[in-house]
Structure 1
Amino acid sequence: MLQNGVSILHDNARPHTGAPVVALLEKYGWKRLKHPPCSPDLSPPDFDLFPKLNEPLRGIRFPNLDVLNEEVSRMIRELNKDGVLCGIQALPKRWRSCMDKQGDYIEGL
């Protein structure tokens, strides 16, 4: 993948699409990949991490944000240890599929 140069995928937020950022990316020859508006299909936390955190944490009430933060951090470390967080590897396939479908939602990929 790195033989083809750098490709960057970021959402359409104003800081990412502003003229200074676009000019800098072009200066370094970085290819900007298209990103459909409001696409959870292309955010690894949305399609990979959050679904894996939802099930074990569903229905649990945490007494405060510190306890919640500790538990979520522990779960992320556990998921990473087992190697099940692989969203970044799935991103190229998801991006191609999303572009082929002109930005339509691609649930179940």
Structure 2
Amino acid sequence: MLQNGVSILHDKARPHIGAPVVALLEKYGWERLEHPPYSPDLSPPDFDLFPKLKEPLRGIRFPNLDILNEEVSRRIRELNKDGVLCGIQALPKRWQSCIDKQGDYIEGL
């Protein structure tokens, strides 16, 4: 997957556009993919990770944050191992659909 280089997806939050960060990304030749500060149509965690993560955890009460963190991390590793977290690869299709619909909501791609 890294054969074609590294692409970083982030918004224009201050830490992402600071001179040291920009210089480091340019130094390594990493491509920056930008999206609006919040866009559920174009945010891989919102349309890819969170729905797949929420379903198996729905209704479970965790006694503390450490146990919650362990369980969420375990579930993410499990999902990623199975190759079902492919939100980044789906972004070009979602971008084009958003353009085609002139910014209207595009759930269900």
Return the TM-score normalized by structure 1.
0.71
In structure 1, how many angstroms separate the alpha carbons of the residues matched to 2:100 and 2:91? 14
Q: 1:51 to 1:26 in 2, by over 3 A?
A: same
- Structure 1, residues 53-101: CA drift from partner, whole Å, max 9, x if none? 0100000000000000000000001001111111111111001111222
Unaligned runs of 5+ residues in structure 2 are none
Report if the CA contact (8 A) 2:13-2:37 is conserved: no
Per-residue deviation, 1:30: 9.0
Q: 1:96 to 1:22 in 2, by over 3 A?
A: farther
- Structure 1, residues 13-33: CA drift from partner, whole Å, max 9, x if none? 456578999999999999876
- Structure 1, residues 26-57: CA drift from partner, whole Å, max 9, x if none? 99999876745631111111110000001000
Q: 1:71 to 1:99 in 2, by over 3 A?
A: same
Q: 1:99 to 1:35 in 2, by over 3 A?
A: farther
In structure 1, how many angstroms separate the alpha carbons of the residues matched to 2:12 and 2:91? 17
Between the two structures, name the one with larger relative contact order (CA 8 Å, sep ≥ 6).
1
- Two-structure CA RMSD over aligned residues (Å): 3.3
* Residue in structure 1 matched with residue 21 of structure 2 by the alignment: 21
* Residue in structure 2 matched with residue 77 of structure 1 by the alignment: 77
Q: 1:94 to 1:26 in 2, by over 3 A?
A: same
Q: 1:71 to 1:30 in 2, by over 3 A?
A: closer
Per-residue deviation, 1:7: 7.7
Report if the CA contact (8 A) 1:36-1:103 is conserved: no
Return the TM-score normalized by structure 2.
0.71
Per-residue deviation, 1:105: 1.1
Which 10-residue stretch deviates more, 32-41 or 59-68?
A: 32-41
Aligned residues: 109
